[in-house]
Every structure is written in C-alpha cells, then in structure tokens.
C-alpha cells in the first residue's frame, strides 16, 4: 500500500496546537471533519502522530469506531490508562511490588491498583499524571469523536477532557493538546455548538482532502515504472479522484485494474479510471436508493423528514407528525414514529444516528448530498421496486 505523506499539514497543525499560530484557537483543541474514507485516520496515525512525537509530545490515539460494541467512554479511558501504565512502568511496578497502594506523581496521589482502570471522572488526574511522569506535553487524538456523544459515559469523558485541558493549559503553554476528528461535520458540531456542549465555542475545520500534489506523486510513480505511459494525464486522474469522492482506496483500486497487464481495451488507462469513477458514483447512489426503497413507508417518511430538515429535525412535533401522515396516508402517533426511528437506527448498516441526548442525524452524511441532488433535479422521492441486493 502506498502512503503519500502529508508532512506539511502535520507540521502546521502541530505548530497551531502548540500555540505558535497567531489568532488560532488550536491550543483549545482542533476539530477536523471530512467524509469517510478520505484519509483522516491515516493522516492522524501516520503523519500527525509521528510529527508530534518528533517534537517530544506523548501521543495517545484512540479510534472510537475501532470497536462499536465498546462504550466510547471506556475506550478513551482505556487508551489513556494504557499510556499512563507504560510511562509509569517501572515506578508503578516497584511501588506495587513493595506494597505501596498509592504513588505520588507531581503532588497528586495515584492508586496503584487502579492505573489502567480509570473512568471518566478520573481522566483529568490520569492525564496530569501522564504529563508529569513523561515530563512532556500530551496529545490526545480522538478519531470519530462524535461517537462519544452516543453514550453517557462518552459524554462524561468529553466533559472531563475539557476540564483536564483547562487545568493543564496556560496561555503560551499547551500541556494537553486535543485533536478530534469526525466523518460528519454536523455530528461533530454537537461537541462545540450548543451551550451545554463539552467544547462550546470551538470551531470545526474541514480537513483538507488529498489534492493535486497527491495525484502528481501517483503520476510520477506510474511514469517511473511505466515510461511508455509518459506523459500521464494528471488532469484526468484528478477528475477521476474527485469522482471517487476523494477516496484514495477506490481510486487506487481502479488504477491498479486499469494498469494491470490483464486490463482489456487498448485506450489510455486514464480513461478507464475515469470510467470506473463514474461507475462507482452510480453504484453508491444505487445502493442508497435500494436501502431507501427497502424501508417501510413510515420509515421512508421519517428518513425523508430527517434528510429534509437536517439539524432542525424534531421527530415528534406536530408538523413532523403531519408530514408522516401526508406521506404515508395513515395517522401516525409519536410512538409509531419513534418505533420507525428506532428501526432505522437498528438496521445494519444503521441509517440513523442518535446521541445520548436524543438528537438524531442520518448515519452517513453522504446521504445528504444524494438527497439534495435528487431533490434539486426533481427526482425525489425514489420510486420503484426494491432491487435485489
């Protein structure tokens, strides 16, 4: 697998986290949003993490989607606990072995039996201990951070992180750097944009997609290996990459096929890649259409309302209930609407997302684009028979 390094972006973010960028709020946390599969986790782990480490920052990385059966609050606590354990290592083991029940780290007592089993409320202590034992700033990278909002323990963990940040950081000295990423800007917004939100007042940034420099890099690899293909049409490849929704994996797969000695046709490979991009787009849309058509009428109506209203969606208000009735032709009670929402949430893959506070969103933000486009073209709602999958 090829990894195209994004070091300049990583260096920029680290400088901002450290407070070296004027007028930047980054020392309070960076919130990055970009659609699924556009390279967030790769960037965080293979570019940002090493850059932070090169600048002597202790990095804790946790992906809240790594195990969907686990409570997100638990995953965060566990990642911090593990880092603390490995840094305390010898000191803690020695203390434990000699029967000491607590360990004093930087003026604060740590229960030696509990290192590695911290919970939401002790996160600030654990982070302080980690910072003090390491004698270095700590960066906590939480991938798919919006998922924390789906459980109460996750919400508590987020609130504790904010308080840890406020305790540890001073103007000009960021001891706790927070980086949160999310595949859906609307959901990530819920961490920052309501009064009770854990990081109220912070801004969400769009994480830049891989761009023309990535394509140029790929083109030069191709030209290196297959000189007969020179010059590679980078413009066409970039259009194809955009057609794939800036998702490197699909793009690379198509490239691999088009460049394979077994590829049929004698045209330029760029044309074949562009063609696969179009097919992929059509497939993605057909997939959404068939999921939609496979729903019960009330589920369709509820999803429709959610797509139409976005952040303003209120599932059970009078207008919503009237909307469901109009679309289904039946009287719809709040209870029935709730059952439909629950069914949408329980599907695999889920179509609807719900926070611990009862806020709803479509699970995959790509559905919004699909809906918008169809609505603008007057092709909404999809009609027809359910296709076999």
Ligand X SMILES: Nc1ncnc2c1ncn2[C@@H]1O[C@H](COP(=O)(O)OP(=O)(O)O)[C@@H](O)[C@H]1O
> Under DSSP, is residue 118 helix (H, G, I), strand (E, B) or coil?
coil
Instruction: Say if residues 54 and 202 touch (Cβ distance below 8 Å).
Output: no
Sequence-separated (6 or more) residues with CB below 8 Å from residue 337: 298, 302, 315, 316, 320, 321, 324
Verify binding: residue 146, Mg ion, rule CB under 5 A: no
The helix (run of H) or strand (run of E) holding residue 129 is helix 123-134
Q: For ligand X, which residue of 117, 194, 220, 249 counts as binding (CB under 6 A)?
A: 249
In the complex, least distance from residue 221 CB atom to ligand X, rounded to whole angstroms: 11
Verify binding: residue 2, ligand X, rule CB under 6 A: yes
Residue 243 site contact among ligand X, Mg ion, none (CB < 5 to 8 Å, cut-off depends on kind): none
Verify binding: residue 38, Mg ion, rule CB under 5 A: no
Verify binding: residue 38, ligand X, rule CB under 6 A: yes
Distances (CA, A) of 151 to 64, 82, 147, 267: 12, 22, 8, 53
Q: For ligand X, which residue of 9, 11, 20, 37 counts as binding (CB under 6 A)?
A: 37
> Under DSSP, is residue 224 helix (H, G, I), strand (E, B) or coil?
helix
CA dihedral (292, 296, 301, 303) positive or negative: negative
Closer by beta carbon to ligand X, 36 or else 336: 36
Q: For ligand X, which residue of 11, 36, 336, 347 counts as binding (CB under 6 A)?
A: 36
Distances (CA, A) of 294 to 127, 344, 347: 47, 11, 11
Helix axes 123-134, 72-97, angle to 10 degrees: 50
Using CB under 6 A, which of the segments 31-39, 116-124, 236-244, 315-323 binds ligand X? Answer: 31-39
Using CB under 5 A, which of the segments 34-42, 119-127, 203-211, 367-375 binds Mg ion? Answer: 34-42
What mask, x for binding ligand X by CB under 6 A, covers residues 203 to 242? -------x--------------------------------
Q: In the structure encoding, which two tokens stand for residue 200, read together?
A: 């109220």
In the complex, least distance from residue 294 CB atom to ligand X, rounded to whole angstroms: 25
CA dihedral (32, 189, 35, 233) positive or negative: negative
Residue 39 site contact among Mg ion, ligand X, none (CB < 5 to 8 Å, cut-off depends on kind): ligand X
Distance, in Å, from the CA atom of 226 to the CA atom of 219, rounded to the nearest integer, reads: 10
Residues in binding contact with ligand X, number by CB under 6 A:
16
Verify binding: residue 41, Mg ion, rule CB under 5 A: yes
Residues in binding contact with Mg ion, number by CB under 5 A:
2
Verify binding: residue 42, ligand X, rule CB under 6 A: yes
Residue 340 site contact among Mg ion, ligand X, none (CB < 5 to 8 Å, cut-off depends on kind): none
Closer by beta carbon to ligand X, 66 or else 203: 66
Using CB under 6 A, which of the segments 34-42, 336-344, 349-357, 367-375 binds ligand X? Answer: 34-42
Distance, in Å, from the CA atom of 183 to the CA atom of 32, rounded to the nearest integer, reads: 9
* Local structure of residue 173 (DSSP, 8 states): B
List residues near Mg ion by CB under 5 A. Answer: 40-41
List residues near ligand X by CB under 6 A. Answer: 1-4, 6, 34, 36-42, 210, 248-249
């Amino acid at each position: 697998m090829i990894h195209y390094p994004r070091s300049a972006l990583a260096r920029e973010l680290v400088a901002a986290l450290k407070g070296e960028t004027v007028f930047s709020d980054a020392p309070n946390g960076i919130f990055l949003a970009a659609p699924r599969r556009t390279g967030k986790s790769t960037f965080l782990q293979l570019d940002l993490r090493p850059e932070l480490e090169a600048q002597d920052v202790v990095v804790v990385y946790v992906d809240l989607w790594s195990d969907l059966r686990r409570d997100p609050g638990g995953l965060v606590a566990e990642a911090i606990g593990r880092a603390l354990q490995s840094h305390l290592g010898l000191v803690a083991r020695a203390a434990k072995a000699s029967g000491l029940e607590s360990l004093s780290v930087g003026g604060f007592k740590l229960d030696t039996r509990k290192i590695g089993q911290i919970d939401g409320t002790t996160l600030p202590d654990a982070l302080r201990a980690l910072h003090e034992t390491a004698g270095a700033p700590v960066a906590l990278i939480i991938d798919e951070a919006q998922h924390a909002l789906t459980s109460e323990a996750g919400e508590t963990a987020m609130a504790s992180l904010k308080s840890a940040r406020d305790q540890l950081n001073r103007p000009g000295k960021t001891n706790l750097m927070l980086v949160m990423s999310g595949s859906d800007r609307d959901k990530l917004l819920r961490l920052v944009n309501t009064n009770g939100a854990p990081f109220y007042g912070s801004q969400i940034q769009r994480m830049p997609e891989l761009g023309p420099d990535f394509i140029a890099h790929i083109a030069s690899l191709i030209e290196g290996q297959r000189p007969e293909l020179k010059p590679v049409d980078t413009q066409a490849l970039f259009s194809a990459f955009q057609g794939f929704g800036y998702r490197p994996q699909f793009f690379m797969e198509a490239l691999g096929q088009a460049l394979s000695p077994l590829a049929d046709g004698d045209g330029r490979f760029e044309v074949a890649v562009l063609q696969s991009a179009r097919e992929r787009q059509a497939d993605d849309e057909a997939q959404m259409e068939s999921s939609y058509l496979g729903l019960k009428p009330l589920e369709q109506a509820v999803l429709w309302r959610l797509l139409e209203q976005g952040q303003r969606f209120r599932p059970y208000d009078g207008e919503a209930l009237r909307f469901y009735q109009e679309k289904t032709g039946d009287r719809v009670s709040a209870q029935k609407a709730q059952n439909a929402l629950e069914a949408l949430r329980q599907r695999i893959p889920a179509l609807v997302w719900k926070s611990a506070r009862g806020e709803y969103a479509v699970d995959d933000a790509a559905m919004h684009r699909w809906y918008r486009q169809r609505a603008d073209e007057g092709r909404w709602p999809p009609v027809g028979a359910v296709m076999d999958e």
